[in-house]
Amino acid sequence: MEGVKTSENCFEIYQIKDEINAGVTEFQNRCFVSMNEIKSLGLKADNVNEYYYTCVYSGTFTEEINTAVKRNEMLAKLFQTFNINHPADYKGRSVSVSDVIVLKCGDKISAYFVDSIGFVKLRKFFSEKK
């Protein structure tokens, strides 16, 4: 994980880099684009990776998220917090479709694409270079 160097449970919120969104890449103007729209453009979910994103916030949490239900509850909680009640030091856009939330609990790290409804687990968000 980019922003948090800790042994605690933590999260990071990634948003599409401004220069990518305005540039000439296959992800040009892809903010707020759902996974179905990405696929309809002929792109693969694997193309949603950290190259196109920047970490806009990181933090810790104490909850154990060792089940799918608990992970979804944490994702929903983070989604709501970063839409309705932003922390004072948060400088990103409200979390929305096309953003990525990364969760670290223990030694397990997982990335989730914020989709139109719910979250899509990204199996290859971080490249091999990390």
| Spatial distance between the Cα atoms of 17 and 53, rounded to a whole number of angstroms | 5
The answer as to whether 105 is a domain residue is yes
Sign, Cα dihedral of 12, 118, 20, 126: positive
The answer as to whether 5 is a domain residue is no
pTM score, whole prediction: 0.81
User: What are the pLDDT digits (tens) for 4-49?
Assistant: 455 688 999 998 876 654 454 555 556 677 788 777 777 665 556 6
The answer as to whether 1 is a domain residue is no
φ/ψ of residue 90, rounded to 5: -80, 125
Number of domains in the chain: 1
The whole-number pLDDT of residue 130 equals 39
Question: How confident is residue 3, by pLDDT bands cut at 50, 70 and 90?
Answer: very low
Sheet of strand 108-114: strand arrangement: 53-60, 10-16, 100-105, 108-114, 119-122
Domain membership of residue 28 as a residue range = 10-122
Average pLDDT over residues 54-81: 91
The answer as to whether 109 is a domain residue is yes
